């Protein structure tokens, strides 16, 4: 599973002899001595996985370090999975030992396990760990030395800076979509903590994101999805605890914001809790996590650390958690031993509730249970045999340098793997010396230093602040061996012989000057966040948006690098060539950027969150005493009213992939030893580009409407191996009964569904294949229906739970396709349905192919926006007139469906498909054309349905009801039924036209008419031409000749010129355009709401919009 050596920079045959199997490669190599090669049949023992081989080449070679590992063989199309580390002793065995030890303990010794030491007020004693309990030497019970944080050993004192690795943040690791990488990180992290004398890690942080501005989002590895978080939680716990260090999952529970975090009360319904917020914690419990940390906030009015329902009933009883519960620091508010709290931290004079007196007043059974739980962890993790220390005698271990070349190499690999390529227009990346001679690096973030908050009590210098490499607060690690962005780019550019022009301020004038001088302009922007406060907004720092826009205006090849702690706004995204995101990448940030920008590593990261179009497309922190999660599961990508700049799961690379016909089958097996597998879905994924790379196939399950899910939800993902051009890999998704189940609050249990639809693709919005699944009546067996290809690059094909048209003789099922629609101008288009995905069951691409126009020579299927497709001739870019372009609200002028992504208008190295290469049905189904008049001022709307799907009670003149996306019904009449479309125009809305005319005096109108007479005549001529062309197009199967395209472009140029003359007569121009609208303008398209190019969601529902378009 390594990339081909032949694709590495500067490759020469002389680097390795014939018969070589693989090598450690170096970008600057000019001779055979510069590469380390191994022959066929004699691979080193460390060549196990791609991650392990790359780390070894970058760190452990005598002649190294190298830039990575590569292969001369055909890469493995299925990556080799890392083996899970051996489990510690069982919980039953640990409890037996714990109870034996408990019988030897005094009451005071039991209480010693249950309260912290080492703090005086809010100050931690020197050479004490953040969390400590005293040792009990006579029983060989060691001190519990627990240290922040989940993402790295906290550099609490200046003496620690540079002695530990500055890892990428946990959110950055979430971007890898690779649990094996998280397990490798956990193992290395465990080694560093153990080397520092700590036997406990205060992590992982697994809360699911709710608030986009959350101050601690950077350290929450679940991102915004519970399934993703569950896979990571398991891998993290296994990796850390394999090194004899116990893990503490946090923060239990509903700790979604920092605003009023110690006082607010989270209110969450039971279904949402079990389906959205509990799963990552449940996964950590099943992985054997040792402890849980309860949070500051209240739940249903009761402090989390005193909440019997959440601690005893949910966590310990229903989830089966067998470790101990400790409080967050100073989060204890009473002696809540019987409520489920087992250990108070840090037990200082600021607040002590687990004093000997208080604990002595508790029932003996309660203290024994808490002590037993802590002792069980001591025995299960074999802490008595670990090489530790007892504070304050731990200075030597604190000063030990535990960072190593392999750890630095791993940090570099993880940072590279986590970079997400969001956009790459016109193959702006990678930067190759054949076409690029100079690069400008612009922005102060490119040379940002690491922030060191260390003061006497960690508060004197702003302990909650972070930097562009690590977030702030208890999770902050000072990157002592930092490679900043400029350094990393300069080093890699030098190897390629490319000149670097520096403008490392945020001054617009300087930045523009540098951009003008360079072939490529790289603008670096960043922001950060920290504990105790949420972000004030989602903007990048230092008004960098203005700088980006200015640079992009003078350099068409502008690349934006973002170093961020979570979601940010990108208002300039349509004006730049490429965008990349790194969620605080740690000390190797610069090296990672250099490797990706110059093509040493094809991007592999995927978004674990959504990037919103505006701040209104997110959930804000609650400011009141009660924070009600009234949105239920509609957070992140599951909220169908939010508009996204880039969707959950999105990420590009330097090639493109096709998803071939899938095969679903019943299967069995229990690979995780926890859940029963019942359905397997095999999907061949093929590299149709010209460079080797990997992708991440994703599966989203949609259930019936009554289940109550707002959208299809992630239930599977798999990274492919490295796929060379033309090669494919069979990705297999294994669905368990639990995956196919949903939570029923009334019954307080999970219920297995009977039908579901699997959506498989590249992101939550880029779905390529769907298949319907159903459970055999009276059996436990699942069966699959026929699979269907879905429009590529950006449109989810989601079956609607209810019909978009009411009055039918039956309601459509999950396996039925709704109708197609047509604009009145005669171009056949695909109409969206009313389902969670905002589109019809049949894909737009398929709908286009099903019409005659796209099966005729010279016709192609084009997308006007994420939910609207059209058949038209192959006009070249620029031959669509400006008015038509404005109506379509899109950046895909005359662009064939399936070639480009709406999120990245040009995939690098992507093959350009001709009409003959686009697959289509050889025998389109017989269709009926139904013209509907009515709705909410919708004019004439034409439906194109399979003849077999037309309800028998539908007749010309019949009244039906149209259902809008907001749930409103509209009366409508069937005015035409036949085999061919009927040319219709939109009736004038007199009230609307009156509003347009209001406020214009008669004298102004007269003078405006005289001065604008040439413009008026030109517009009338253009309108006449539109009517003639469109009428002819309708009568001849929507064909247009090349002469027609030429005339179209000439009319466009004329219109653009006269439009500029009408600037001072806007109101009159609006009236004239309204006249033109009556003569030929597409009614349905004109009513569409504004959308951000690159956006991917349906509009917010409104009864004032055309229901069928919604």
- What's the number of CA atoms in the CB half-sphere (13 Å) around residue 1013? 4
The 3-class SS string of 330-368 reads: CCCCCCCCCCCCCEECCCECCECCCCHHHHHCCCHHHHH
- Residue matched to tokens 């009590």: 457
Can you give the pLDDT at residue 806? 24
Q: Are strands 420-424 and 782-789 parallel, antiparallel or unpaired?
A: unpaired
SS3 754: coil
Tokens of 244: 């004899």
pLDDT band at 73 (very low <50, low <70, confident <90, very high): confident
Note the pLDDT tens digit of each residue in 128-162: 999 999 999 999 999 999 999 899 999 999 999 99
The candidate with the shortest Cα–Cα distance to 698, out of 759, 781, 609, is 759
CB 147 within 8 A of CB 157: no
Please compute the mean of the pLDDT values over residues 688-699 and round it to a whole number: 96
The residue that leads in pLDDT, 12 or 681, is 681
Q: How large is the C-alpha radius of gyration of the chain?
A: 31
Query: To 10 degrees, what angle do helices 1013-1035 and 1042-1061 make?
Result: 150
Q: Is the pLDDT of residue 850 over 90?
A: no
d(CA 468, CA 587): 10
Please compute the mean of the pLDDT values over residues 930-954 and round it to a whole number: 58
User: Which residues touch 1050 (CB under 8 Å, ≥6 apart)?
Assistant: none
Q: Is the pLDDT of residue 249 over 90?
A: yes
Please compute the mean of the pLDDT values over residues 887-891 and round it to a whole number: 33
Range name among 184-188, 344-348, 400-404, 797-801 with the lowest pLDDT average: 797-801
Tokens of 631: 């949105």
Please compute the mean of the pLDDT values over residues 776-794 and round it to a whole number: 72
The residue that leads in pLDDT, 448 or 833, is 448
Q: Taking the mean position of all CA atoms in its chain, how far away is CA 895?
A: 26
pLDDT band at 88 (very low <50, low <70, confident <90, very high): confident
Q: Is the pLDDT of residue 381 over 90?
A: yes
d(CA 517, CA 371): 68
Please give the backbone phi and psi of residue 552, each rounded to the nearest 5 degrees, phi first. -65, -25
Q: Which segments of 175-305 does DSSP mark as H helices, in order? A: 179-195, 226-241, 270-272, 279-286
CB 773 within 8 A of CB 733: no
Please state, rounded to an integer, the average pLDDT across all residues of the chain: 78
Please compute the mean of the pLDDT values over residues 964-968 and round it to a whole number: 43
Q: How distant, in Å, are the alpha carbons of 410, 559, 908 from that of 431? A: 24, 10, 12
Please give the backbone phi and psi of residue 594, each rounded to the nearest 5 degrees, phi first. -60, -40
The 3-class SS string of 291-336 reads: EEEECCCEECCEEHHHCHHHHHHHHHHHCCCCCEEEECCCCCCCCC
Tokens of 80: 């080799």
Q: How distant, in Å, are the alpha carbons of 84, 91, 230, 675, 735 from that of 671? A: 12, 21, 16, 8, 11
The residue that leads in pLDDT, 891 or 151, is 151
d(CA 789, CA 771): 9
The candidate with the shortest Cα–Cα distance to 1040, out of 794, 871, 823, 845, is 871
The residue that leads in pLDDT, 553 or 895, is 553
Range name among 701-710, 916-925, 1053-1062 with the lowest pLDDT average: 916-925
Range name among 87-91, 260-264, 1104-1108 with the lowest pLDDT average: 1104-1108
User: What is the sign of the dihedral through the CA atoms of 1061, 1066, 1068 and 1070?
Assistant: positive
The residue that leads in pLDDT, 885 or 386, is 386
Q: Are strands 119-120 and 782-789 parallel, antiparallel or unpaired?
A: unpaired
d(CA 269, CA 283): 20
Can you give the pLDDT at residue 931? 61
Can you give the pLDDT at residue 780? 82
Q: Is the pLDDT of residue 683 over 50?
A: yes
Note the pLDDT tens digit of each residue in 711-727: 999 999 999 999 999 99
Residues composing the chain: 1110
User: If you ran DSSP here, which 8-state letter would residue 243 be given?
Assistant: T
SS3 22: strand
Whether 328 is a known active-site residue: answer yes
Tokens of 807: 């009055």
Can you give the pLDDT at residue 568? 98
In terms of Cβ atoms closer than 10 Å to its own Cβ (0-12, 13-18, 19+), residue 985 is middle
Share of the chain above pLDDT 90, in %: 59
d(CA 976, CA 998): 36
Start-to-end CA distance of the chain, whole Å, equals 45
Can you give the pLDDT at residue 412? 97
The 3-class SS string of 826-876 reads: CCEECCCCCCCCCCCCCCHHHHHHCCHHHHCCCEEEEEEECCEEEEEECCC
Among 531-535, 935-939, 996-1000, name the most confident range: 531-535
Can you give the pLDDT at residue 38? 86
pLDDT band at 1020 (very low <50, low <70, confident <90, very high): low
Beta-carbon count within 10 A of 674 CB:
12
d(CA 277, CA 474): 23
Among 253-267, 903-917, 1020-1034, name the most confident range: 253-267
User: What is the sign of the dihedral through the CA atoms of 295, 298, 303 and 308?
Assistant: negative
d(CA 570, CA 563): 13
Q: Is the pLDDT of residue 497 over 50?
A: yes
Tokens of 325: 């519960």
Per the residue annotation, which of 328, 534, 617, 847 is the catalytic one?
Answer: 328
SS3 411: helix
The 3-class SS string of 432-488 reads: CCCCCCEEEEECHHHHCCCCCCCCCCCCCCCCCCCCCCCCECCCCCCCCCCCCHHHH
In sequence order, what E strands does 654-765 have? 657-659, 663-666, 677-687, 696-703, 713-719, 728-736, 741-744, 749-752, 755-761
Range name among 140-149, 161-170, 1099-1108 with the lowest pLDDT average: 1099-1108
The residue that leads in pLDDT, 801 or 540, is 540
d(CA 969, CA 1103): 9
d(CA 583, CA 265): 29
What are the DSSP calls for 101-170, one per residue? HHTT--HHHHHHTTB--SEETTEEPTT--SEEE--BGGGTB--EEEE--TTS----SGGGTTSS--PPPH
Range name among 691-700, 730-739, 898-907, 949-958 with the lowest pLDDT average: 898-907
SS3 900: coil
SS3 1061: helix
Please compute the mean of the pLDDT values over residues 269-292 and round it to a whole number: 98
Can you give the pLDDT at residue 97? 97
Range name among 44-58, 438-452, 578-592 with the lowest pLDDT average: 44-58
Range name among 699-703, 802-806, 928-932 with the lowest pLDDT average: 802-806
d(CA 671, CA 55): 28
Beta-carbon count within 10 A of 829 CB:
29
Q: Is the pLDDT of residue 1038 over 50?
A: no
Q: Is the pLDDT of residue 928 over 80?
A: no
Can you give the pLDDT at residue 778? 77
Q: Is the pLDDT of residue 834 over 60?
A: no
d(CA 295, CA 531): 13
Q: Is the pLDDT of residue 937 over 70?
A: no
């Amino acid at each position: 599973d390594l990339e081909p050596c032949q694709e590495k920079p500067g490759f020469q045959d002389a680097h390795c002899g014939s018969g070589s199997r693989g090598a450690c490669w170096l970008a600057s190599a000019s001779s055979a001595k510069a590469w380390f090669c191994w022959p066929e049949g004699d691979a080193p023992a460390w060549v196990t996985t791609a991650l392990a081989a790359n780390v070894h080449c970058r760190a452990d070679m005598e002649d190294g370090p190298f830039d990575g590992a590569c292969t001369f063989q055909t890469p493995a199309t299925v990556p080799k999975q890392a083996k899970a580390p051996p489990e510690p002793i069982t919980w039953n065995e640990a409890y037996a030992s714990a109870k034996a030890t408990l019988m030897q303990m005094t009451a005071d010794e039991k209480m010693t396990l249950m309260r912290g030491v080492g703090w005086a007020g809010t100050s931690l004693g020197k050479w004490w760990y953040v969390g400590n309990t005293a040792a009990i030497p006579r029983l060989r019970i060691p001190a519990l030395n627990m240290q922040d944080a989940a993402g790295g050993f906290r550099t609490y004192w200046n003496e620690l800076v540079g002695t530990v690795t500055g890892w990428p943040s946990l959110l950055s690791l979430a971007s890898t979509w690779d649990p094996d990488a998280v397990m490798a990180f956990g193992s290395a992290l465990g080694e560093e903590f153990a080397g520092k004398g700590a036997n406990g890690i205060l992590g992982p942080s697994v809360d699911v994101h709710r608030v986009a501005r959350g101050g601690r989002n950077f350290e929450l590895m679940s991102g915004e999805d519970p399934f993703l978080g569950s896979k990571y939680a398991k891998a993290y716990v296994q990796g850390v605890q394999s090194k004899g260090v116990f893990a503490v999952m946090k923060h239990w529970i509903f700790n979604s914001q920092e605003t009023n975090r110690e006082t607010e009360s989270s209110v969450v319904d039971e279904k949402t809790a079990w389906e959205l917020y509990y799963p990552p914690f449940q996964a950590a419990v099943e992985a054997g996590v040792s402890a849980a940390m309860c949070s500051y906030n209240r739940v249903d009015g009761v402090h989390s650390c005193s909440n019997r329902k959440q601690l005893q009933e949910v966590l310990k009883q229903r989830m089966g958690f067998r470790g101990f519960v400790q409080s967050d620091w100073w989060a204890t508010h009473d002696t809540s031993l019987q409520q489920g709290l087992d250990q108070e931290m840090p037990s200082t004079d600021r607040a002590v509730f687990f004093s000997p007196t208080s604990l002595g007043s508790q029932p003996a059974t309660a203290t024994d249970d808490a002590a037993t739980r802590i002792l069980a962890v001591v025995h299960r993790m074999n802490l008595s045999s670990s090489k530790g220390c007892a504070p304050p005698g731990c200075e030597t271990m604190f000063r030990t340098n535990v960072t190593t070349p392999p750890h630095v190499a791993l940090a570099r690999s993880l940072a590279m793997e986590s970079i997400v390529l969001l956009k790459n227009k016109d193959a702006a990346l990678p930067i190759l010396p054949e076409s690029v001679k100079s690069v400008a690096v612009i922005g102060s973030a490119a040379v940002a230093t690491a922030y060191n908050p260390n003061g006497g009590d960690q508060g004197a210098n702003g302990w909650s602040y972070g930097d562009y490499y690590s977030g702030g607060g208890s999770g902050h690690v000072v990157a002592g061996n930092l490679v900043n962005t400029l350094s990393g780019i300069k080093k890699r550019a030098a190897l390629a012989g490319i000149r670097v022009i520096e403008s490392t301020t945020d001054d617009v004038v300087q930045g523009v000057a540098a951009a003008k001088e360079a072939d490529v302009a790289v603008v670096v922007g960043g922001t950060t966040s920290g504990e105790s406060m949420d972000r004030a907004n989602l903007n990048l720092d230092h008004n960098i948006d203005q700088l980006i826009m200015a640079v992009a205006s003078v350099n068409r090849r502008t690349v934006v690098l973002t170093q961020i702690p979570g979601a940010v706004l990108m208002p300039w995204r349509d004006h730049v060539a490429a965008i990349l995101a790194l969620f605080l990448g740690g000390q190797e940030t610069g090296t990672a950027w250099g490797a990706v920008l110059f093509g040493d590593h094809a991007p592999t990261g995927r978004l674990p969150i959504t990037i919103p179009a505006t701040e209104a497309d997110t959930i804000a922190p609650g400011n009141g005493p009660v924070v009600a999660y009234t949105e239920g599961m509609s957070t992140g990508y599951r909220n169908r009213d939010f508009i996204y700049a880039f969707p959950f799961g999105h990420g590009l690379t330097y090639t493109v992939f096709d998803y071939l016909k899938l095969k679903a089958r019943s299967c069995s097996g229990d690979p995780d030893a926890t859940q029963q597998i019942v359905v397997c879905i095999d999907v061949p994924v093929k590299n149709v580009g010209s460079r080797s790379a990997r992708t991440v196939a994703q599966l989203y399950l949609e259930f019936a409407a009554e289940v109550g899910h707002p959208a299809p939800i992630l239930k599977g993902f798999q990274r492919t191996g490295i796929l060379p051009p033309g090669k494919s890999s069979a990705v297999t998704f294994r669905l368990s009964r639990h995956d196919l189940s949903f939570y029923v609050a009334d019954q307080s249990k999970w219920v297995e569904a009977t039908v579901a639809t699997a959506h498989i693709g590249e992101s939550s919005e880029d779905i390529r294949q769907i298949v319907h699944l159903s459970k055999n009546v009276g059996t436990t067996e699942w069966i699959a229906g026929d699979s269907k290809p879905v429009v590529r690059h950006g449109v989810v094909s989601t079956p609607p739970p209810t019909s978009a048209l009411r009055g039918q003789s039956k309601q459509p099922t999950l396996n039925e396709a709704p109708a197609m629609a047509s604009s009145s101008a005669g171009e056949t288009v695909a109409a969206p349905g009313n389902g969670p995905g905002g589109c019809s069951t049949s894909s737009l691409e398929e709908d286009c192919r099903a019409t005659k126009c796209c099966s005729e020579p010279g016709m192609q299927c084009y997308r006007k926006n994420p939910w609207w497709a059209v058949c038209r001739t192959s006009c070249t870019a620029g031959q669509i007139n400006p008015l038509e372009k404005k109506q379509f609200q899109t950046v895909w002028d005359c662009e064939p469906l399936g070639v480009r992504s709406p999120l990245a208008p040009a995939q690098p190295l992507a093959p350009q498909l001709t009409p003959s290469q686009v697959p289509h049905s050889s025998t389109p189904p017989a269709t009926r054309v139904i013209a509907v008049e009515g709705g909410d001022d919708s004019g004439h709307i034409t439906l194109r349905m399979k003849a077999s799907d037309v309800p028998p009670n539908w007749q010309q003149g019949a009244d039906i009801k149209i259902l809008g996306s907001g749930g409103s019904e509209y009366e409508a009449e069937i005015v035409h039924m036949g085999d061919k479309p009927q040319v219709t125009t939109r009736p004038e809305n007199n009230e609307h036209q009156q509003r347009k005319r209001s406020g214009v005096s008669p004298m102004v109108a007269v003078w405006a008419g005289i001065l604008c007479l040439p413009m008026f005549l030109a517009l009338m001529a253009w309108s006449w031409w539109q009517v003639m062309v469109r009428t002819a197009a309708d009568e001849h199967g929507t064909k247009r000749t090349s002469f027609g395209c030429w005339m179209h472009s000439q009319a466009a140029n004329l219109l653009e010129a006269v439009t500029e003359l009408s600037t001072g007569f806007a109101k009159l121009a609006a009236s004239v355009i309204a006249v033109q609208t009556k003569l030929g303008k597409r009614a349905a398209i004109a009513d569409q709401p504004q959308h951000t190019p690159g956006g991917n969601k349906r509009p917010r529902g409104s009864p004032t919009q055309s229901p069928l378009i919604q």
